[in-house]
Amino acid sequence: MLMNKKLTGFICMAMMITMALTACGGGNNAASNAGNKKDTEAENTLAAATEGPKYNFRLAETHPADYPTTKGDMKFAELVKEKSGGRITIDVFPSAQLGEEKSAIEQVQLGAIEFTRVSSSPLGEFNKEFGVFSLPYIFDNDDHVWRFLLGDAGNQLLDSLSSSRLKGLAYYSSGSRSFYSAKPLTSLEDLKGLKIRVQENQLNIAMIDALGASATPMSYGEVYSSLQTGVIDAAENNYPSYFSSKHFEVAGHFILDGHQRVPEVLMMSKTAWDKLSPEDQAIINEAALESVAFQREEWAKYEKESEEQVRAAGATITKVTDVTPWQEAVKPVIDANREQYKTILDAIDAAR
Ligand code: GTR
């Protein structure tokens, strides 16, 4: 960060000199001298980034290559390569090739894999603070989530990952999660007694219990066959995952209650991070943050497209018009955890 600020400062200064000389009628020579200086500074930036050790890192991703989180990862890798003058490369491994999320987090903690993009929900088992996102109905909408994530509390939360041997880099969009099943789902009552797959986080079990169903935590990759063979009756996710994983083929009833908004997290192994120079850390950090806007755009497009696709495929979609009974049913889960998450919940309320 320091180096880049300094160099960006030089470039700005060079640009100001150019503008000032031109405005004062400094003539072509003066302007082009300043222009030369600017070119030299820019070359220096690149030279400084290009010098130093070479790295080839790996990034573990659960989703396939065309999914918005994977596209975000790839944008991140591209920016890192560019900013380091090709010195730091990151190979993105999509479709859980390096393991399901829980295992990816463990490997990143150990430094066996340098990067991963995972959901906050399984991450909550490695860093309690992240459990907050598994509490149901705490956000009103996507804007509310992003106001929180981009504020101080969201940043502190990312920083808190260092105590879990992880370096949090950025959040990505993940919309809201709702239930789906092969059985008709048109009201809260329909969930009663169902075996519902949840992400691997204890709070999800409490939430499903409170809704009168029984929770089966399992990894994402197992859900399709478990729905197909009847090991579970239902699952829950956002439109993009419901579509991309083809769960809609084996669970064609989707009820939009939007119980959770669980952001995605891009992170690095703390062990690998600590070995980097401050300049390289700055490159990684900047690239991660710059990739967010791109991921959010890709998300918005894909969310719309996946809704259209599952509707076209004949899925039955029910919108919950009054979410109050759902919120009341899960209130005991919030009450039981309010104290533990008080500071973060207050920050979430303040971002409302
Ligand atoms: C998706 C998320 C994945 C994974 C999956 C799941 O929304 O993007 O990282 O956590 O949910 O339900 O396991």
pLDDT tens digits for 67-87?
A: 999 999 999 999 999 999 999
Q: If you take atom 6 of ligand 1, which residue's CA is the nearest one?
A: 220
Cα separation values, 144 from 108, 148, 229, 233, Å: 30, 6, 38, 32
pLDDT digits (tens, 9 = 90+) for 237-295: 999 999 999 999 999 999 999 999 999 999 999 999 999 999 999 999 999 999 999 99
Cα separation values, 118 from 18, 59, 62, 63, 164, Å: 46, 11, 8, 10, 15
119 lines ligand 1 (CB under 6 A): yes
What is the 97 CA–ligand 1 centroid distance (Å)? 15
**Average pLDDT of the chain?**
90
Do 10 and 41 touch, CB atoms closer than 8 A?
yes
237 lines ligand 1 (CB under 6 A): yes
Domain residue limits, the chain: 53-174+263-303, 177-261+314-351
At 42, the pLDDT band (50, 70, 90 cuts) reads low
Residue with tokens 């192994």: 269
In whole angstroms, what is the distance from residue 73 CA to residue 115 CA?
Answer: 10
At 44, the pLDDT band (50, 70, 90 cuts) reads low
238 lines ligand 1 (CB under 6 A): yes
Neighbour count for residue 29 (Cβ, 10 Å): 9
Q: Is the pLDDT of residue 15 over 70?
A: no
Cα separation values, 183 from 8, 54, 196, 227, Å: 58, 54, 12, 11
Distance from the first to the final alpha carbon of the chain: 31
Residues 6+ apart with CB under 8 A from 284: 80, 88, 169, 268, 273, 276
Cβ contacts of 83-86, under 8 Å, gap ≥ 24: 83/49, 83/283, 83/286, 83/287, 84/49, 84/50, 84/52, 84/280, 84/283, 85/46, 85/47, 85/49, 85/50, 86/50
Ligand 1 atom nearest to 235, measured from its CA: 12
Q: If you take atom 10 of ligand 1, which residue's CA is the nearest one?
A: 119
**pTM greater than 0.75 (yes/no):** yes
Q: If you take atom 8 of ligand 1, which residue's CA is the nearest one?
A: 119
Task: Give alpha helix (H) positions in 99-167.
Answer: 101-110, 120-123, 142-149, 152-159
120 lines ligand 1 (CB under 6 A): no
What is the 193 CA–ligand 1 centroid distance (Å)? 24
CATH assignment of 53-174+263-303, among 3.90.1150.10, 3.30.300.30, 3.40.190.100, 3.40.190.170: 3.40.190.170
| pLDDT over 70 percentage in the chain | 86
pLDDT digits (tens, 9 = 90+) for 290-330: 999 999 999 999 999 999 999 999 999 999 999 999 999 99
At 47, the pLDDT band (50, 70, 90 cuts) reads low
At 117, the pLDDT band (50, 70, 90 cuts) reads very high
What is the 238 CA–ligand 1 centroid distance (Å)? 8
Q: How many residues does the chain have?
A: 352
204 lines ligand 1 (CB under 6 A): no
Q: Is the pLDDT of residue 28 over 50?
A: no
Domains 53-174+263-303 and 177-261+314-351 share a fold: yes
User: 348 burial class (0-12, 13-18, 19+ CB within 10 angstroms)?
Assistant: buried
Q: Is the pLDDT of residue 30 over 80?
A: no
CATH node for 177-261+314-351:
3.40.190.170
Ligand 1 atom nearest to 62, measured from its CA: 9
pLDDT digits (tens, 9 = 90+) for 160-208: 999 999 999 999 999 999 999 999 999 999 999 999 999 999 999 999 9
What is the pLDDT at residue 103?
98
In whole angstroms, what is the distance from residue 352 CA to residue 339 CA?
Answer: 20
Which of the pair, 27 or 217, is modelled with greater confidence? 217
In whole angstroms, what is the distance from residue 183 CA to residue 338 CA?
Answer: 34
Q: If you take atom 3 of ligand 1, which residue's CA is the nearest one?
A: 119
What is the pLDDT at residue 41?
62
244 lines ligand 1 (CB under 6 A): no
